[in-house]
Amino acid sequence: MNHFSQIRAKLVSRGLDAMLLTCEANRFYASGFHSTGTDGVALVTREGAYYFTDSRYIEAAGKEVQDAAIRMTDVKNPYVDLINEVIEREKLAVMGFEDAYMTVADRKNYGKLKCRLKPAAALMTELRASKDEEELRRMEKAQRISEKALAEVLPLIKPGVTEREVAAEIVYHMMRNGASKPSFDPIVVSGPNTSLPHGVPTARRIKSGEFVTMDIGSIYEGYCSDMTRTVAVGSATDEMKNIYGIVLKAQLAGIAAARGGVAGKSVDAAARDVIGKAGYGAYFGHGFGHSLGIEIHEGPYASQAGKEKLPVGAVISAEPGIYLPGRFGVRIEDVVILREDGCRVLTKAPKKELIIL
């Protein structure tokens, strides 16, 4: 799978003769090359596509990259020289580059190219926002891997086990079930630590009568999954059950509002309104959700600042939460695929009732 033709089809409308791709995520999107590694450049022109890399990856690139000319860079043939050869041969005048990713040092180096460089990161953001069927297949598989890992780890969660031990078990089970790696470092927090939306697993031992929140994700064939479940150990107070119920109601309201063509802030507002009316608006500080795909956080966003319309085919997280400082917090997260008439929830892990282990 590659997306050279999709990128090429957008060049004329963007006033570009070519698109230079240096960041790993965009190189992978363009070429479908899993072992993109730390070095590599993809170049898409109106006439063709090119993939340049060094000796560490050249053999693998030759096997995996289709529909592109492949060249090896070395001391005598730096990237700039190889790209300039294409510029001269195809008479390229304007080349897009990833202004949202490229460092100042790299921008200075690529300033040696014999054409004008034009900021064009938005082109790649737009293309990557709407997933095709193969991308969705991989994301669904990543989600099933995460769910299976969670189901296998839940029986291990009991008083005396540390947050770090649970996090380690989750990573082990995800990779054992087919993930290439986690899509991010898992968040496993317990008790008062659950009030930290992005808390880091610690040596704290889980106690009976408290929440455990697990935010986890897998990567399968280059694509991410993301999910959060909050469970209780031993027992839960009426207050804990009530907060869980409010968060679930808010999540379902946001999911009901999610569809292609709706502004991200409208989806966020549907969930935020539920939490606000319940009296906990001050304790929901982050957005309802974010897009994901090759990267765990991609644009566009379903947040208060999300003015742009969410496209059909986007995959976004649905993750409202309530966090009471120093006491406890609850977050429930699914991912959904946006359609014209609504959305399809990709996540199947149970959430209807608070799980008490």
What average pLDDT does this structure show over 69-81? 96
pLDDT at 271: 98
| Angstrom distance (rounded) from CA 225 to CA 317 | 9
On whether both 153 and 247 belong to a single domain, the answer is yes
On whether both 122 and 140 belong to a single domain, the answer is no
Q: Is residue 352 in a domain?
A: no
pLDDT at 149: 98
Per the structure, the complete domain to which residue 92 belongs is given by: 4-129
| Angstrom distance (rounded) from CA 281 to CA 28 | 40
On whether both 189 and 106 belong to a single domain, the answer is no
CATH number at residue 189: 3.90.230.10
pLDDT at 34: 81
Question: CA of 40: how far to CAs of 52, 55, 87, 99, 177, in Å?
Answer: 6, 10, 18, 17, 30
φ/ψ of residue 241, rounded to 5: -65, -40
pLDDT digits (tens, 9 = 90+) for 276-285: 999 999 999 9
Provide the angle, in degrees to the nearest 10, between the axes of the packed helices 121-129 and 24-31.
60
Token pair in block for residue 192: 């008062």
On whether both 86 and 167 belong to a single domain, the answer is no
pLDDT digits (tens, 9 = 90+) for 57-67: 999 999 999 99
Residue where a domain terminates, one of 86, 110, 129: 129
Partners of residue 335 on adjacent β-strands? 317
pLDDT at 36: 64
pLDDT digits (tens, 9 = 90+) for 162-177: 999 999 999 999 999 9
CATH number at residue 20: 3.40.350.10
| Angstrom distance (rounded) from CA 193 to CA 162 | 12
Residue 132 neighbours by CB under 8 Å, 6+ apart: 313
Alpha carbons within 13 angstroms on the beta-carbon side of residue 152 total: 17
The answer to whether 224 and 296 have CB atoms below 8 angstroms apart is yes
What average pLDDT does this structure show over 77-96? 98
The answer to whether 42 and 32 have CB atoms below 8 angstroms apart is no
| Angstrom distance (rounded) from CA 110 to CA 96 | 11
pLDDT digits (tens, 9 = 90+) for 313-340: 999 999 999 999 999 999 999 999 999 9
pLDDT at 70 over 80: yes
Q: Is residue 354 in a domain?
A: no
Residue where a domain terminates, one of 129, 161, 182: 129
On whether both 21 and 139 belong to a single domain, the answer is no
At 308 the three-state DSSP class reads coil
How many domains would you assign to the chain? 2
pLDDT at 17: 98
On whether both 157 and 233 belong to a single domain, the answer is yes
Peptide bond into 300 cis (omega under 30): yes
Q: Is residue 58 in a domain?
A: yes
Determine the straight-line distance between the first and last CA of the chain, rounded to whole angstroms. Answer: 42
The answer to whether 112 and 80 have CB atoms below 8 angstroms apart is yes
φ/ψ of residue 156, rounded to 5: -85, -10
**pLDDT confidence of 287, banded at 50, 70, 90?**
very high
What average pLDDT does this structure show over 240-251? 98
Partners of residue 318 on adjacent β-strands? 334
φ/ψ of residue 56, rounded to 5: -70, -30
CB count within 10 Å of CB 238 equals 7
Residue 313 region by backbone torsions, left for phi larger than 0, else alpha for psi between -120 and 50, else beta: left
Strand order in the sheet with 41-45: 69-72, 49-53, 41-45, 18-21, 94-97, 116-119
The answer to whether 139 and 224 have CB atoms below 8 angstroms apart is yes
What average pLDDT does this structure show over 270-274? 98
At 156 the three-state DSSP class reads helix
| Angstrom distance (rounded) from CA 87 to CA 84 | 5
On whether both 267 and 207 belong to a single domain, the answer is yes
pLDDT at 53: 96
On whether both 188 and 298 belong to a single domain, the answer is yes
Residue 153 neighbours by CB under 8 Å, 6+ apart: 166, 169, 170, 173, 214
Residue where a domain terminates, one of 129, 159, 187: 129
